[in-house]
Amino acid sequence: AIEKLELKVRVRQLLKEKQAVLVAHYYVDAELQDLAEETGGCVSDSLEMARFGRDHPAKTLVVAGVKFMGETAKILSPEKTILMPDLDATCSLDLGCPADEFAAFCDAHPDRTVVVYANTSAAVKARADWMVTSSIGLDIVAHLHAQGKKILWAPDKHLGGYIQKQTGADMLLWQGSCLVHDEFKGIELDVLKAEHPNAKVLVHPESPAAVVALADVVGSTSQMIHAAKTLDAEEFIVATDNGILHKMQMAAPTKRFIVAPTAGNSATCKSCAHCPWMAMNGLRNLVQVLESGNNEIQVDPVVGQKAKVCIDRMLDFAA
Ligand code: CIZ
Ligand code: SF4
């Protein structure tokens, strides 16, 4: 405990010294989330992290999250130094959608508007017409559908399938998934619901359709936190990374939050409701990168400029 306190003091010192600001995702350790907030940084979803970093005057952004978040920060703020506690922190959606295979897929369907989820590499974004996050994907696809556009969607098949069902758009789906959300199970959730008949169910749309079907609210991380705060219920079952419970509990201290069930045993559940890559962010490696300046995120400027077009399109749409 003393070591943790010392590390936190050191992080505060270093952030000041290096004119750096810490941006953290809802899925990282609670102590990193708190530190980000207490030091004038931010805790949020991937979209807000990028926007906050872009608009902040700091010279250096330290991104406690996963690689695509660091890349997006760099794309929006090429003049800033972007550091990450661990450069190996990636995402199964990003890994499952290599840029060369994705480009071939797009080439095979030139009549489709290419819409990609934020959880992709800079190179994949560079090939896309639009980037979306889970909070705005539905609205953007509905907008494109209303214009008669056919869509090529990547990489998350569950989120794509959900948006397809909601909008009725013609969507060709890349078959990727998030290894955390993919583990939530509809049958077990139904049983848990029966045991907690008054609980409201909050589900992130990266979850399988059988889980989404049981939701009271389907939404992005920020939308789920908002629902936890505003819905008239004392108990909630939550299907997303358990890192989010920290913010939910702060937003609604008297309410009770239960993590939705994953596959029953640890042999089949590699990542029970917690992202192994988000978990690579800690106090110790945070201090190390601030001290050394190592682990800088680089994005090829040409790729970055192309990728920025589809991100800015979303930001303009959202504004
Ligand atoms: O699952 C993720 O990585 C999410 C929800 C990212 C984000 O904040 O959009
Ligand atoms: Fe990727 Fe899933 Fe981890 Fe989010 S929780 S970073 S989608 S693997």
Candidate CATH numbers 2.70.210.12, 1.20.120.140, 3.40.50.720, 3.40.50.10800; the one for domain 181-259 = 3.40.50.10800
pTM, two decimals, is 0.95
Ligand nearest to the CA of 220: 1
- pLDDT 10s digits, 192-221: 999 999 999 999 999 999 999 999 999 999
Predicted confidence at residue 93, as pLDDT, reads 98
From ligand 2's centre to the CA of 88, what distance in Å? 13
The residue that leads in pLDDT, 293 or 50, is 293
Predicted confidence at residue 271, as pLDDT, reads 59
* Listed residue (11, 33, 25) closest to 65, CA to CA: 25
Nearest CA to ligand 1 atom 3: 119
Tell me, what amino acid is at 243? Answer: G
Say yes or no to pLDDT of 83 above 80.
Answer: yes
Taking residues 285-296, report their average pLDDT.
98
Q: Around 75, how many Cα atoms within 13 Å sit in the side-chain half-sphere?
A: 30
Evaluate whether 207 touches 181 at the Cβ level (below 8 Å).
Answer: yes
Predicted confidence at residue 121, as pLDDT, reads 98
CB within 8 A of 238, min separation 6: which ones? 202, 224, 228, 244, 245, 248, 257, 258, 259, 260
Domain 2-90+278-298 shares a fold with domain 181-259: yes
- What is the percent of the chain where pLDDT is above 90? 94
* Listed residue (107, 145, 149, 114) closest to 131, CA to CA: 114
Taking residues 283-301, report their average pLDDT.
98
Q: Is 114 in the pocket of ligand 2 (CB under 6 A)?
A: no
One DSSP character per residue, 64-117 reads ES-HHHHHHHHHH-TTSEEE-S-TT---HHHHTS-HHHHHHHHHH-TTSEEEEE
- CATH code, 93-177: 3.40.50.10800
From ligand 1's centre to the CA of 151, what distance in Å? 22
Predicted confidence at residue 319, as pLDDT, reads 85
Q: What is the DSSP letter of 25?
A: E
Structure confidence at residue 267 as a pLDDT band (50, 70, 90): low
Evaluate whether 222 touches 45 at the Cβ level (below 8 Å).
Answer: yes
Q: Which CATH class is domain 2-90+278-298?
A: alpha beta
Burial 204-240 (b: 16+ CB within 10 A, else e): bbbbbeebbebbebbbbbbbbbbbbeeeebeebbbbb
| Predicted complex ipTM exceeds 0.90 | yes
From ligand 2's centre to the CA of 58, what distance in Å? 27
- pLDDT 10s digits, 226-235: 999 999 999 9
Average pLDDT of every residue of the chain: 96
Q: What is the largest CA-CA distance in the chain?
A: 60
From ligand 1's centre to the CA of 155, what distance in Å? 13
Taking residues 283-300, report their average pLDDT.
98
Q: What radius of gyration do the chain's Cα atoms show? A: 19
- pLDDT 10s digits, 152-193: 999 999 999 999 999 999 999 999 999 999 999 999 999 999
Place of tokens 């089949």: 268
Ligand 2 atom nearest the C-alpha of 277 is 3
Distance CA 202, CA 50 (A): 25
* Listed residue (135, 73, 97) closest to 314, CA to CA: 135
Taking residues 131-138, report their average pLDDT.
95
Q: Is 69 in the pocket of ligand 2 (CB under 6 A)?
A: no
Ligand 1 atom nearest the C-alpha of 204 is 5
* Listed residue (158, 173, 120, 80) closest to 314, CA to CA: 120
Tokens of residue 308, six digits:
């920025």
Residue ranges per domain, the chain?
A: 2-90+278-298, 93-177, 181-259
- pLDDT 10s digits, 20-70: 999 999 999 999 999 999 999 999 999 899 899 999 999 999 999 999 999
